[in-house]
């Protein structure tokens, strides 16, 4: 079953039924060693699903749940190894979307859910995206409208002595640091298994190339001359002259407006048949850090 959260749509199953959890991996085409996030109804569930919890875990849960934050903690015996891909830690999150809240509180247990897209592709931010990605393989899609944040949750590992930011997302790093009272360590351990950290993740079909605003016009013109179908995402000052057959999507407005539009825009450029998408990067603070992270990964090497 797919359901909306404030970040992206999730493909959910009872976290305590190993068989259902295995089906998620099969539908997504995701390697069984890549861990899933367990979604919970309330911050009070933290102690039931995690163990040996740190002060930082409780502080962050209290400050940001329900909301777009995933905490990596030691797993309790309640969490099957199928969910964690064999790890002794588990990702927990209490979403704030009203439909997710009702689903989770009515169900009462934990719902293991990755984003409801095929492995490596752009995450779905509407029910239509889920249907177009996963089609008949999902028996039910709860339609809660477009996601209000539009990029995945921020992931913080609080299972060790120092909290580590593993993935920038819907809660800005600055807000976490304010609650923690100090700078947050950034991910650096290549040993951590997390598909969201693969360079080619969150990628549309088209090749994404990051360019500075000043190079845009020239690069686009060269690609057009070479006969490529070109798309442009949020690049350059208004009015940069671009050939008529270039598909343009601008992510205007606040950081939140941009985050909300990001995946939809990448999908639209794919649908327009673009072979190359040129994009610039936003300033890397607030939600801009998550947007830049996803664009870098979309531009990363494909395997
Ligand atoms: O916003 C979100 O987080 C969405 C919604 C549906 O909640 N979910 C999502 O799930 O993005 P997914 O599976 O696409 O990405 C979850 C990330 C992966 O990079 C995974 O490796 C990481 O969380 N993760 C989960 N458990 C982990 C663990 N124990 N240690 C390290 N990383 C973990
Ligand atoms: Mg995902």
To test the pocket of ligand 1, the residue of 115, 124, 190 to mutate (highest count of ligand atoms within 8 Å of its CB) is 115
Q: What is the mean pLDDT of residues 34-61?
A: 97
The percent of the chain in helix, strand and coil, each rounded to the nearest 5, is 35, 20, 45
Ligand 1 atom showing the smallest separation from residue 152 Cα? 1
The DSSP 8-state label assigned to residue 271 in this structure reads H
Whole-angstrom distance, CA of residue 158 vs CA of residue 176: 12
**Distance from the alpha carbon of residue 36 to the mean position of ligand 2, in angstroms:** 9
**Is it the case that residue 263 has pLDDT exceeding 90?**
yes
- 């607030």: which residue's tokens? 286
Residue 220, φ and ψ in degrees, nearest 5: -65, -45
The pLDDT, as a whole number, for residue 189 is 47
**Distance from the alpha carbon of residue 148 to the mean position of ligand 1, in angstroms:** 19
Tens of pLDDT along 210-239?
Answer: 998 888 889 999 999 999 999 999 755 566
User: Could you say which ligand is closest to the alpha carbon of residue 113?
Assistant: 1
Quick one: 88 exposed, middle or buried, by C-beta within 10 A (0-12, 13-18, 19+)? exposed
Tens of pLDDT along 192-210?
Answer: 455 556 666 778 899 999 9
**Nearest protein CA to atom 19 of ligand 1, as residue:** 196
196 lines ligand 1 (CB under 6 A): yes
Angle between helices 255-271 and 288-298 in degrees, nearest 10: 20
Q: What is the mean pLDDT of residues 258-277?
A: 95
Question: pTM higher than 0.75 for the full model?
Answer: yes
Sorted by sequence, the CB contacts under 8 Å of residue 152 that are 6+ apart come out as: 7, 8, 68, 115, 123, 167, 169, 170, 196, 290
Q: What is the mean pLDDT of residues 111-122?
A: 93
Whether 40 and 92 have beta carbons less than 8 Å apart is answered as: yes
User: Could you say which ligand is closest to the alpha carbon of residue 36?
Assistant: 1
Q: Where are the alpha helices (DSSP H) in the chain?
A: 18-28, 46-49, 55-64, 81-84, 98-107, 127-134, 173-180, 216-225, 255-271, 288-298
**Nearest protein CA to atom 12 of ligand 1, as residue:** 114
Ligand 1 atom showing the smallest separation from residue 155 Cα? 23
**Distance from the alpha carbon of residue 93 to the mean position of ligand 1, in angstroms:** 9
**Distance from the alpha carbon of residue 30 to the mean position of ligand 2, in angstroms:** 10
159 lines ligand 1 (CB under 6 A): no
């Amino acid at each position: 079953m797919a359901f909306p959260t404030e970040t992206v749509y999730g493909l959910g199953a009872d976290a305590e039924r190993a068989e259902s959890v295995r089906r998620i991996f099969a539908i997504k085409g995701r390697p069984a060693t890549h861990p899933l996030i367990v979604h919970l109804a309330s911050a009070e569930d933290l102690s039931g699903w995690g163990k040996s919890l740190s002060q930082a875990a409780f502080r962050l849960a209290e400050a940001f749940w329900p909301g777009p934050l995933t905490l990596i903690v030691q797993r309790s015996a309640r969490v099957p190894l199928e969910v964690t891909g064999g790890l002794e830690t588990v990702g927990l999150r209490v979403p704030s979307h009203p439909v997710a809240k009702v689903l989770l509180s009515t169900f009462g247990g934990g719902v293991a859910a990755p984003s409801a897209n095929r492995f490596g592709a752009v995450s779905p931010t509407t029910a239509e995206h889920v249907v177009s990605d996963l089609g008949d393989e999902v028996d039910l899609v709860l339609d809660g409208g477009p996601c209000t944040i539009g990029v995945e949750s921020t992931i913080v590992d609080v299972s060790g002595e120092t909290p580590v930011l593993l993935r920038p997302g819907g809660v800005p790093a600055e807000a976490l640091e304010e609650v923690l009272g100090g700078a947050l360590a950034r991910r650096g351990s290549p040993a951590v298994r997390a598909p969201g950290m693969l360079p080619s993740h969150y990628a549309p079909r088209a090749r994404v190339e990051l360019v500075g605003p000043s190079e845009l016009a020239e690069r686009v013109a060269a690609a057009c001359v070479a006969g490529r179908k070109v798309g442009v995402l949020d690049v350059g000052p208004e009015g940069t002259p671009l050939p008529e057959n270039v598909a343009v999507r601008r992510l205007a407005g606040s950081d939140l407006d941009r985050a909300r539009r990001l995946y939809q825009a990448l999908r639209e450029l794919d649908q327009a048949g673009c072979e190359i998408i040129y994009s610039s990067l936003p300033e890397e603070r607030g939600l801009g850090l998550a947007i830049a992270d996803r664009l870098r990964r979309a531009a990363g090497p494909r395997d």
